[in-house]
Amino acid sequence: MFFITVLSMQVYAFFDDFEGGELGDDWQKSPAGQEASWSIQEGELVFSGGGGHSQMITGAEDWHDYTVECDIKFVSPQDYPGGIRTYVDVSTGGHYAVWLYPAQQMIKLYSGTAWDINTGIVELGEHHPFELEVEVLYHIKVVHQGKHIEVWLGDQRDDMELIIEADDDTYKSGLFAFDGWNQPVHFDNFLITGPDIPHSPGEPGSVASAGKLTTAWGVLKQ
């Protein structure tokens, strides 16, 4: 289930807890990978780890200076489950990415130029060691403010620590993506807030589609 509501000073929020059993029209798969790799299971968005790397995307090209956060859970101790991407350019796949490595007990912030994480990759920061356990929900948050980027991580939303900071202006706006590589990974409780996050007509907090993402989807489907 997703909600879009007004917070304050024209800063809006888009929230999805995936309890509805299927993804709404605000979510679309990237050109990479297979649709079958993604599903909703027991109220969580699941990437199966099969079918090649892939992303599940929401947003618009002009979204900027936003804060995005979600829960993430690993079901395998192996590396390369993936992570999340911000400021995604849907025409090229360019992005910032936070990837988590359970086996190496490491978290990294990257910039990249394509849907394939290895293309044009630049490491902007890392955090280690961090013991990433399987079947445990972690809460991750990325804050964009101008060219400044912060990555926060914790066991829950009200118990997080700043683990990575960087300054980079390669990308100045863009969409959000859940990012899967070759290991299963679960996501839940997605929340994004920012000045350009669209809100639905009607009362704040009403259940409705954002309905303003068609431009981005048209690029993806070309």
List C-alpha distances in Å: 18 to 95, 99, 152, 163, 188.
24, 22, 22, 27, 7
| pLDDT tens-digit series, residues 66-82 | 999 999 999 999 999 99
* Domain housing 200: 14-220
CATH of the domain at 196: 2.60.120.560
Residue of higher predicted confidence among 20 and 144: 144
Q: Per the domain annotation, does 81 fall within a domain?
A: yes
Q: Per the domain annotation, does 136 fall within a domain?
A: yes
- On the question of pLDDT at 176 being above 50, the answer is yes
Rounded (5°) CA angle 123-95-84: 85
Section 40-60 average pLDDT = 95
Q: Per the domain annotation, does 26 fall within a domain?
A: yes
pTM exceeds 0.95: no
Section 134-163 average pLDDT = 96
Q: How many domains does the chain have?
A: 1
The 10 Å Cβ neighbour count of residue 50 is: 14
Torsional sign, CA 129, 134, 136, 141: positive
